[in-house]
Amino acid sequence: MKPVAIFRQFPTEGPGYFATFLDYHYIPWKLIKIDSDEDLPPSPNQFSGLVFMGGAMSANDNLPWIAPVLALIRQAVGDNIPVLGHCLGGQLMSKALGGVVSKSTIKEIGWGKVSVANNPIAREWFGDLSEFESFHWHGEIFTLPNSATQLLSSQFCENQAFAMGIHLGMQCHVEMTEEMIKVWYEVGAGEIANSLGPAVQSADAMRKDLANRVSALNVIARRLYTKWISGLSGLE
């Protein structure tokens, strides 16, 4: 089958657990390092799906790769090639599909509960689950594109995830591994110190019971990723 394209916008925000999941299912993937100025593909059609990870920049920034990425997302959705977005990736999906990305009044950094919406589409993705603890690191938020269905929300962020058919955009980070979290709170120590608020955790709070928290998050991620890959062409 064609590989899944994974777009990395920032060196420390790679595919994490998503790559582990794909490898377990013998699904080929290709990492495209936008942060290293690797060329973007001219079309999504050489891939079975497109996946966008997080990053410290804004979807509204005047960066040379933003417009081509938005075009890739629109073309993939038009061609029914599954698209998956994590945090900045979800924001890029929202903007590409007609939503709005804006600065949030409250940053979310660290662990925090998200609630599953009470609608049939959310049940398709999450079953009977009503809430779970996810990892967060964002200062911007997105609105739902037209025809999108809200899947998740949190106390400080109304739209934490949306679906459009097989396409899934998320504000929260379900792809985390223990190592990624440790790197993030070390690299982001300055941001944590300068972002005091009700949804910002210290590094000590983030690493409390870390192994069990990540393991529980992996269970959620597996469920979401399993549904998402069901839309990939060539999957047996």
236: pLDDT strictly greater than 70: no
Q: For the ranges 21-25, 227-231, 232-236, which has the lowest average pLDDT?
A: 232-236
Give the residue carrying structure tokens 């998956």. Answer: 84
Give CA–CA dist 39/24, Å, rounded: 28
Give CA–CA dist 107/139, Å, rounded: 5
CB of 87 closer than 8 Å to CB of 80: no
Give the number of other CB atoms < 10 A from CB of residue 194.
9
Q: Where are the domains of the chain?
A: 4-229
Question: pLDDT tens digit string along 105-145?
Answer: 999 999 999 999 999 999 999 999 999 999 999 999 999 99
| Confidence (pLDDT) at 233 | 83
Mean pLDDT to the nearest integer, 60-85: 98
Q: Which CATH number fits domain 4-229: 3.40.50.880, 3.40.30.10, 3.20.20.70, 3.40.50.720?
A: 3.40.50.880
* Angle, CA of 98, 176 and 48, to the nearest 5°: 55
76: pLDDT strictly greater than 60: yes
Give the DSSP H or E segment for 159: strand 157-164
- Side chain identity at residue 89, one-letter code: G
Mean pLDDT to the nearest integer, 73-98: 98
Are β-strands 101-116 and 149-154 bridged in parallel, bridged antiparallel, or unpaired? antiparallel
Give the number of other CB atoms < 10 A from CB of residue 167.
24
CB of 206 closer than 8 Å to CB of 185: yes
